[in-house]
Amino acid sequence: MLILQILLNAIVLGSLYACIAAGFSLVWGVLNVINLMHGSFIVLGSYLAWGAYKALGVAPWTSLLIAAPVFFILGYGIQRGVLNRVIAAPVLVTLTLTFGLDLILNNAMLVAFKADYRQLVLDPSLGSLSVGSLVVPVDRIVAMIFSLLLTLALFFVLRRSRVGRAIVAVRMDRDAARLMGVDVPSIYATAFGLGTAMAGCAGVLLAMIFPISPIASGSYLGKAFVVCVLGGLGSVPGAVVGGLFLAIVESFGSLVLGPENAVTLSFGLLIVFLIVRPQGLLGKRGFE
């Protein structure tokens, strides 16, 4: 029964990992930008949920409706105003730029919110569901459902919409796409906006489960990295598979080796994958 309980927890955690990684993977895959701000965007999303609940009593799932457009506009603006200027430069340049922007954003959050851990505690609590001896808190199930819905929404935006197909086309061949009438700088900004919106929304959902602090941004970024490499870079299904896989390995790994070794295990796995299967589990090249 313990194994089933751990598996259940891992699935909940894995769907959140998928949500964290999908936006990161999109930006990396389409723009070839490793966005080091991703973790801080997640934390900022958590603060948004926390603030909205604390001050106005807005439930986190309602905050998603605010977070998605706000973070999209934030990301769109950053790409249009800053990143697009150096997008053609080698990856180290954009990496350094996002690193610098992350320092600004993260330290601004430290100044604004302090490094104290805060917790969004729903009142009244949603309680927990139990089937037999399996127990899951309802807030975790809610977070899982919304993260899966968001990931699915991103998948369908990329698959079915005009803008999604333009993103895929730009990823495959930027020059050919622009000669067909794709406004490449605007598509870059849209892709970055979508990635940022996914990060912000993931942060809102994570606020229901984990304590909030600017210090957490590095660990979220690390998860996004590992999930992308495990699942295969640049695909939404890859993020889902990678997220679930990482969560399962971490959960069972902490059972066997102790929870203090979970992070070591996940980064060890990252190294193994980079050597043995660098294209990831799904290993698709096109963003589908």
Partner 1 sequence: MAEVLVLEKVSRRFGGVQALQGVSLSVGSGEVLGLIGPNGAGKTTLVNVVTGVRSASAGRVLFEGRNITRLQPFQTARIGLARTFQIVQPFPDLTVLDNVAAAALFSQRGTRLSEAREFAAEQLEFVGLGQFAAKSAHTLTLAMRKRLELAKAVAMKPKLLFLDEVNAGLNASEVDHAMVLIRQIAKRGITIVLIEHLMKVVLTVCSRIVVLQNGALIADGTPQDIVNDRRVVEAYLGKKYAQLSAARG
Contact map string, positions 184 to 203, toward partner 1, x by CB under 8 A: x-------------------
- Whether 252 and 163 have beta carbons less than 8 Å apart is answered as no
173 binds partner 1 (CB under 8 A): yes
Should residue 165 be labelled a site residue for partner 1 when binding is judged by CB under 8 A?
Answer: yes
**Tokens 């399962």 label which residue?**
248
Q: Which of 44, 48, 157, 169 binds partner 1 (CB under 8 A)?
A: 169
Q: In this complex, which beta carbon is closest to partner 1, that of residue 118 or of residue 165?
A: 165
By CB under 8 A, is residue 153 in contact with partner 1? no
Residues in Cβ contact with 32 at an 8 Å cutoff, skipping those fewer than 6 apart: 91, 94
179 near partner 1, judged by CB under 8 A? yes
Measured torsion, CA atoms of residues 111, 117, 123, 124, in degrees rounded to the nearest 10: 160
Contacts of residue 11, defined as CB under 8 A and 6 or more positions apart, other chains included, come to 144, 244, 247, 248
Interaction between residue 176 and partner 1 (CB under 8 A):
yes
| Beta-ladder partners of 136 | 129
Q: How many residues bind partner 1 (CB under 8 A)?
A: 20
Task: Check binding of 174 to partner 1 (CB under 8 A).
Answer: no
Q: Which is nearer to partner 1, 160 or 275 (CB)?
A: 160
| Binding of partner 1 by 216 (CB under 8 A) | no
**Between 92 and 179, whose beta carbon lies closer to partner 1?**
179
Q: Helix count (H) and strand count (E) of the chain? A: 11, 2
Min separation Cβ 286 and partner 1, Å: 4
Stretch touching partner 1 by CB under 8 A, among 23-31, 88-96, 107-115, 155-163: 155-163
**Pairing mode, if any, of strands 134-137 and 128-131?**
antiparallel
Based on the shown chain and the rule CB under 8 A, indicate whether residue 148 belongs to the binding site for partner 1: no
Q: Which of 166, 205, 228, 233 binds partner 1 (CB under 8 A)?
A: 166
Nearer to partner 1, 11 or 184 (CB): 184
Report CA torsion sign: 61, 65, 66, 70. positive
Q: Which lies closer to partner 1 via its Cβ, residue 69 or residue 185?
A: 185
Residue whose CB is less far from partner 1, 175 or 260: 175
283 binds partner 1 (CB under 8 A): no
Q: How far is the CB of 271 from partner 1 (least distance, A)?
A: 29
Measuring CA to CA, how many Å separate 165 from each of 6, 25, 284?
Answer: 39, 16, 16
- Residue of 185, 187, 206 whose CA lies nearest to 195: 187
CA distance 6 to 62: 29
Which structure tokens are listed for 164? Answer: 């999604």
The residue among 144, 147, 164 whose CA lies nearest residue 155 is 164
Instruction: Identify residues 27-86 at the interface with partner 1 (CB under 8 A).
Output: none
List contacts with partner 1 (CB under 8 A). 160-162, 165-166, 169, 172-173, 175-184, 285-286
